[in-house]
Amino acid sequence: MSWRDNLPTVRGKLLLNEPLGPYTWFRVGGAADALFIPADADDLADFLKALPESVPVTIIGVGSNLIVRDGGVEGVVIRLAGRAFAAITTEGETITVGAGALDSMVAKASAKAGIAGLEFYAGIPGTIGGALTMNAGCYGAETKDVLVSAWGLTRQGERIELTLADFGYTYRHSNAPADIIWMEATYRGAPDAPEAVAARIHEITSRRETTQPIREKTGGSTFKNPEGHSSWKLVDEAGWRGKLRAETGGGAKFSELHANFMINPGEATAADIEALGEAVRADVLAKTGVQLDWEIKRIGRKA
């Protein structure tokens, strides 16, 4: 008998062999052995406590910085969606948000409350759970600059709380245990006039709309910026901006608008997209001696 024949009873949605492409911005990838969309934190905790330890668990948000490989994902994929995971409350200079809240919505809520410091989230196309995991940031600001604490669930369904110091943040990296499923985060900003915060958010969103292919099937920033370098410049100077390389990318390409954004302009597969990224990494290394590291998370089995 397979573990899928004896899954825990849940209040949320539990779907077997669910294709994951529609849940990602690239719109590619195979199916999850099981996809669980919990009703709330208690539903998720109960599920994890009852799920055999041998079953792998993978967390996804809105799939904005993610490649799901064509062979699908082993075990259970958990997606936090709905109001239970997206609540936002403010008190003074503090804002507390669910891990499923969109970064952009957190920025807007901070403006409404007159809290400065979280404007940069308006430029990040993901959720707070992902932001916590990778110290997300842009335009000179990062999650670590404003985070106070967060809590989540372990693989065993137990609650765990971490303060900022516990994360050990560095550039796009956290030392927090990788298996924590974040539920909620608390931030502290600085008081400012709501209209001033809103104006800075407008500037960020306008800049993003004119410099990034946000209406394409993309995965956001492909590579982290190596120390002393900009990834987009390295990709551009290596000659990959906007070039469709069927022999290595199978229809995927790096955007003409932003050379660190890969896009799926048609019917590329996950393998096509990942192969293009690896080809560019190898070419940039050969030409410049600089190693590009993936910022996009890649999960699952190759077909």
Active-site hit among 155, 172, 200, 298: 172
> Going by C-beta distance under 8 Å and a sequence separation of 6 or more, which residues neighbour residue 264?
26, 27, 28, 216, 217, 218, 251, 252, 273
Whether 295 is a known active-site residue: answer yes
Q: Which of 93, 96, 101 is nearest to 121 (CA)?
A: 101
| Alpha-carbon span 204 to 107, nearest angstrom | 11
**Radius of gyration over every alpha carbon of the chain, rounded to an integer in angstroms:** 20
| Tokens, residue 259 | 């050379």
3-state secondary structure of 110: helix
| Alpha-carbon span 37 to 185, nearest angstrom | 20
3-state secondary structure of 221: strand
| Alpha-carbon span 266 to 274, nearest angstrom | 15
| Tokens, residue 175 | 């030392």
Whether 172 is a known active-site residue: answer yes
Active-site hit among 142, 184, 274, 295: 295
DSSP, res 48:
H
Strands (E), 241-299: 253-254, 261-263, 297-299
| Alpha-carbon span 247 to 263, nearest angstrom | 16
| Alpha-carbon span 76 to 8, nearest angstrom | 12
| Alpha-carbon span 27 to 67, nearest angstrom | 9
Active-site hit among 221, 241, 245, 274: 221
> In the chain, how long is the greatest CA-to-CA distance?
61
Q: Which helix (H) or strand (E) holds 96?
A: strand 94-98
Look-up of token digits 């208690």: 42
Residues marked as catalytic: 172, 221, 295
